């Protein structure tokens, strides 16, 4: 660093995930041209490191992103395999009197490799689970609505039955033909009876108990005998 002031090596990628068979891109740039010496990509660090790229070597699956650049040493690795997983370092070396030594290096990029067949299966499983959850919620909601509606209908049917419970009263009919005066009385009283065509909102029971006409003997009935009582029962729909 004292030989080349302002030099900085940048390896921005911390982690990279790539599918088997795809291309891996590892980024490495330098702020300016460094001292004499090669730039290499190493897999691992220490005595067991493996050279992935060297400016003077031959690496069939590795190619430079920009071949003519002296500051951009980004590489592409084709046809990635599971054994390519590991930590990669971009390293700048400088020449000494007898050998080369490390001048600068990046912090390392952790590469993970996954099988492509696993991703669709995981997505399909997630979709199926989501569908089952939604189906269960729909069924539960449907059962709840159906139960709630059944309780409401039961309550609606019970209420009219309670309102309409009363002791039956026999209707007595007169035995003689009503006179003109009695017909007028019936017409006048019938005008005060509930209208059969009233609003559907009328949920009450109407019962009119008229005073009976003079009764005749039970065994004698005239063909035109008129009833002396009137009943109208209306219940909720």
Q: 21 in a domain, yes or no?
A: yes
Rounded to whole angstroms, what are the CA distances from 164 to 108, 157, 178? 88, 11, 32
Assessment of whether the complete model's pTM goes beyond 0.75: no
Q: 204 in a domain, yes or no?
A: no
Q: 100 in a domain, yes or no?
A: yes
Angular region, 44: left φ>0, alpha ψ -120 to 50, beta rest? left
- Give the per-residue pLDDT at 127: 87
Task: Please indicate, yes or no, whether residues 77 and 141 belong to a single structural domain of this protein.
Answer: no
Per-chain mean pLDDT for the chain? 76
Write out the two tokens for 194: 């509930």
Domain that holds residue 32: 9-114
How many domains does one find in the chain?
2
Q: 165 in a domain, yes or no?
A: no
- Give the per-residue pLDDT at 116: 79
Task: Please indicate, yes or no, whether residues 130 and 52 belong to a single structural domain of this protein.
Answer: no
CA distance 60 to 79: 11
Task: Please indicate, yes or no, whether residues 30 and 122 belong to a single structural domain of this protein.
Answer: no
Task: Please indicate, yes or no, whether residues 53 and 27 belong to a single structural domain of this protein.
Answer: yes
Task: Please indicate, yes or no, whether residues 30 and 109 belong to a single structural domain of this protein.
Answer: yes
Task: Please indicate, yes or no, whether residues 14 and 93 belong to a single structural domain of this protein.
Answer: yes
CA distance 79 to 17: 14
Rounded to whole angstroms, what are the CA distances from 22 to 17, 78, 88, 160? 10, 6, 17, 76
Task: Please indicate, yes or no, whether residues 91 and 127 belong to a single structural domain of this protein.
Answer: no
Task: Please indicate, yes or no, whether residues 50 and 129 belong to a single structural domain of this protein.
Answer: no
Q: 181 in a domain, yes or no?
A: no
Task: Please indicate, yes or no, whether residues 53 and 125 belong to a single structural domain of this protein.
Answer: no
CATH of the domain at 107: 2.60.40.10
Q: 237 in a domain, yes or no?
A: no
- Give the per-residue pLDDT at 143: 87
Task: Please indicate, yes or no, whether residues 27 and 105 belong to a single structural domain of this protein.
Answer: yes
- Cβ-Cβ contacts under 8 Å for 55 (sequence gap 6 or more): 38, 39, 40
Q: 47 in a domain, yes or no?
A: yes
Question: Over the stretch 175-201, which tens digit does the pLDDT of each residue have?
Answer: 444 444 444 444 544 454 555 444 454
């Amino acid at each position: 660093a004292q030989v080349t002031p302002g030099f900085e090596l940048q390896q921005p990628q911390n982690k990279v995930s790539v599918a088997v068979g795809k291309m891996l891109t590892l980024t490495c740039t330098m702020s300016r041209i460094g001292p004499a010496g090669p730039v290499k990509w190493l897999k691992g660090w220490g005595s067991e490191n493996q050279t992935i790229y060297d400016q003077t070597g031959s690496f069939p699956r590795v190619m430079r992103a920009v071949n003519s650049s002296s500051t951009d040493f980004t590489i592409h690795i084709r046809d990635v395999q599971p054994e390519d997983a590991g930590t990669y370092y971009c390293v700048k070396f400088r020449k000494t009197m007898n050998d080369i030594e490390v001048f600068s290096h990046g912090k390392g990029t952790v590469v993970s490799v996954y099988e492509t067949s696993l991703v669709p299966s995981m997505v399909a499983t997630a979709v199926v689970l989501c569908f089952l959850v939604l189906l269960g919620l729909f069924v539960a909601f449907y059962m709840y609505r159906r139960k709630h509606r059944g309780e409401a209908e039961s309550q609606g049917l019970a209420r009219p039955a309670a309102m309409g419970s009363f002791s039956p009263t026999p209707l007595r009919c007169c035995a003689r033909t009503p006179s003109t005066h009695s017909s007028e009385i019936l017409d006048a009283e019938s005008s005060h009876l509930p209208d059969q065509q009233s609003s559907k909102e009328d949920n009450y029971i109407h019962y009119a108990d008229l005073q009976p006409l003079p009764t005749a003997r039970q065994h004698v009935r005239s063909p035109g005998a008129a009833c002396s009582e009137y009943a109208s029962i209306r219940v909720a729909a």
